[in-house]
Every structure is written in C-alpha cells, then in structure tokens.
Amino acid sequence: MYLCLFILCYVLPYYAQPQAKVLSLPLVINTWPFTNATKKGWEVIYTNKGSNLDAVVAGCTECEQQQCDGSVGFGGSPDETGETTLDAMIMDGDTHDVGAVGDLRRVKNAIGVARAVMDHTENTLIVGESATRFAIEMGFKEESLATNSSLAEWKKWKMSNCQPNYWKNVVPDPKTHCGPYTPEHSQLLRDRDFKKPVSRLNHDTIGIIVIDDKGRVAAGTSTNGLTFKIHGRVGDSPIMGAGSYASNEAGAAAATGDGDIMMRFLPSFNAVTMLANGMSVDEAAKRSIQPIIRYYPKFVGAVIVANVSGDYGAACHGLKSFHFSVRVKEMSDVTVVEVPCI
C-alpha cells in the first residue's frame, strides 16, 4: 500500500509533467510563413549548436536577403522620396541587452547592424544617417537599397498624386498634389482624409523568437516599414517592448502590423509580463492586443508568443487569419500554423 502511494505521489508526477516540455526545446518561431528564415534559425541553433542570438540574426538576415514579401530588406516599401530604409532590433533575454537601428539607409543587413549596436556600444538605438555611419565603421557595405521594382512602384505612386499617404490636416502643393505640405487651417477642409495604405499587402515584419535547449531566450525583428511612409519615419520594429521583447524569466514575444499604432501599447512587453504572471501563451497573446482593439478597432496586426517551456501561440486582428512558422525537435520540418483573428 505504501509503495503504491509512493508511486502515485512521486514517481508518476515526475514522468507526467516535465518530460514533454523539455523535449520541445530548442524552439524557433517567426511571424508569417517565412519558412526559409525559420530553417536558417533552426540550422544555427540545433544543427550547428550556435547561440540563440546568432540564430535570430541568421533568420532575419535570410529574410533580408530574400526580400521576404517585399517588406523585409532592400528593394521594397519605398518612402515618399523613393528611398528604402530599414528598421531592426535584437534582444538578449538573459542580460536584457538590446541593439536597434531605425531609418537605416544604404546598408542591407539591418539585423546585423542592430547586433553590432548591442555588442559594441553602450547604446540601445541608433537612427538615420548616424546609423549608416556607424554601420560603415563596423565594416558593413554601403550600397543603394533601391531596385528597379521599388523605383517603378514609387513613380507610379507619384503619378497618382502621392495617394495614398500618411499625412493628415495638411494641404498638398497645388501643382504637384504632393509635398511640400502645409498645415490645414480651413474649417471647411479640416475633415479632409488622405487614404491610408495600411494593409496586409504593404507592411510586414519578420519577428523571430529563438529559445535554446537551456531555456535561454532571444528575439528580434527586421523590416523596411510601410510603403510610401513619410521620410524618416520609424515604426515599432526597433522599439523594445513593441517590436519584440525577451526575458529568460518568462519567454518572448514579437509583433507585426500597423506599427505606428501598435508601438503605443507595447504589446510584446505586455505579453511577456503576462507570461511572467503565469498566463498561457495564447491568453497572453490575445490580451496583449486587446487594448489596441479597444482604441483602434480597425488596426491590422499580430503577436507571436513563446514561453521558456517551449509553448507557443499567437493572436491577430484585422485579418481573417494569421500564419506563422515554427520548428521544434518533434517536428521533421518547419510547420506553418494558422490562427483565426479576433
């Protein structure tokens, strides 16, 4: 009788609880069906036994080189002047160190430059021409990020009177119907709305989370931002707690979508905080975007979440459904998961 009680109380719980969780690590998960990025991250963290930070850089770099969806890396999302600029960040969940770049110009490997900011400076975020100068000092190549495709897209937009765009309460130049813009003071025209192009087709971010077999967490993002954005605009991707966030004490999250709105609510930080308070990954993902929905019911975006045990999930809004890519040891290859939006 005592033997049976011993088995029920001590032996069976040992085998029933932790084993499945441990087998799930390492984990690589990223936004959208960018499966080649997932594979590259998995190759680094599992096949080559590299670090979680190296895997984040490798996964994002793969998307930058392949120009995933035209919204990551060079040659996509031209701004108002026809220039493609890049945002990226990386975060170490062990030390909480962060490296980030915003409005990076003429350097293709944005996530690599963000890693250099983290590894070689005491700073967190470097932007614009200063970020380019820093990148060149670190040995990155300076080259145009424009392509024939991106320039053709920009010229077509100019011919359409620079519509859609992101200005409001302003009057365009009457001859060009584009910039320069001046503040709108006429009450009769104050309600003028420029058509805003935020949709699934003109903005994406690769947000990636990597957790190694010891439960150490890293996360990162890379994007070329919104198509026809105002020159100098920086989105949520390089903002820690908005674009992504990582903590070895709980897990990580990464976001994609309408960054100008999403960064106001720090959904990635909120999701990780909820994980730390014991919430499931699915519930943390949903609750992290609920405040955004409350104030901006038409926003488009999604959040992926993973905890240190290897559980993962996602939540989205403004789309019919959202797809993300994931790989853990039990999977023979990268799996694309679809979740319905709320």
Going along the chain from its start, the domains and CATH numbers come out as 24-145+205-223+232-340 (3.60.20.30)
According to the model, what pLDDT value does residue 202 have?
54
**In contact, 253 and 236? CB cutoff 8 Å:** no
Tokens of 296: 């901006």
Residue of 31, 84, 85, 205 marked catalytic: 205
**In contact, 209 and 189? CB cutoff 8 Å:** no
- 81 assigned to active site: no
According to the model, what pLDDT value does residue 227 have?
94
Report the 10 Å Cβ neighbour count for 221: 36
Strands 312-317 and 301-307: antiparallel
Averages of pLDDT over each 10 residues, the chain, 342 residues: 44 37 80 97 97 98 95 95 98 98 98 98 98 98 97 96 91 89 66 51 82 97 96 97 98 97 98 98 98 96 97 97 96 97 95
